[in-house]
Amino acid sequence: MASPKVIVLRTCDGETFEVDESVVYVSETIKNMIEDGCGDGVIPLPNVSSKIFPKVIEYCKKHVSDFESLKKTSNGDEKEKDKDDDSSKKGKEAVPDVEEDAEEKARVEELKEWETTYMDIDQQVLFDLLQAANYLNIKGLLLMAAEKAASMIRGKTPEQIRETFNIKNDFTPEEYEEVRRENAWAFE
């Protein structure tokens, strides 16, 4: 096999990063840029900072092998986000052979552990990650980050949510009461 091609990318604050082509291919945005012929020069990423980029690359490196096997079977990451599936279970859609079942389970377990450690980040980093994943079009990372943000909301009262995300309550007491009452009794 020929040595892997290295892509040079420049973040919005001028720093450059050199990353293997297979790793950056996890980002649909970068993949499209390379396929459009920009792969030989420096690829500019005006919406991504040098602070968050390494974190994104860490994700991409971990998910390269997933992506490689997907590339072989279909054209790219076609998995539709299922609204009813409230976790980003990536590998579980395909039905595995029984012999590989145990291996698959171990792999999924390990990935879950890695994800828990990876997502142990503060709010600022989480938001940067959300924006970067959105701009770079990395579906799995976007879902994971959105899920983490959602987990910071679940089970909290409105006041606690405001506290967490530093949001001002702009309801008047009457407006608040109206919405609260409607929420409580009128619908589901």
Tell me how far CA of residue 166 lies from CA of 17, 154, 161, 176, in angstroms.
34, 16, 8, 18
CB of 70 to another protein, least distance (A): 21
Say whether residue 94 binds another protein (CB under 8 A).
no
Cβ closest to another protein, residue 32 vs residue 169: 169
Exactly one of 101, 109, 110, 113 binds another protein (CB under 8 A); that residue is 101
**Which own/partner contact pairs does 97-106 have at CB distance under 8 Å and 24+ positions apart?**
none
Quick one: which segment of 11-19, 25-33, 38-46, 149-157 binds another protein (CB under 8 A)?
A: 149-157
Exactly one of 95, 107, 118, 141 binds another protein (CB under 8 A); that residue is 95
Of 46-85, binders to another protein (CB under 8 A) are 81, 83-84
Of 154-173, binders to another protein (CB under 8 A) are 154-158, 161-162, 165-171
* Strand 6-11, strand 42-45: pairing: parallel
Q: For residues 137 and 77, give the distance between their C-alpha atoms in angstroms, rounded to a whole number.
A: 11
Closest CA to 144 of 167, 166, 169, 111: 111
Q: For residues 121 and 28, give the distance between their C-alpha atoms in angstroms, rounded to a whole number.
A: 24
Say whether residue 112 binds another protein (CB under 8 A).
no
Say whether residue 89 binds another protein (CB under 8 A).
no
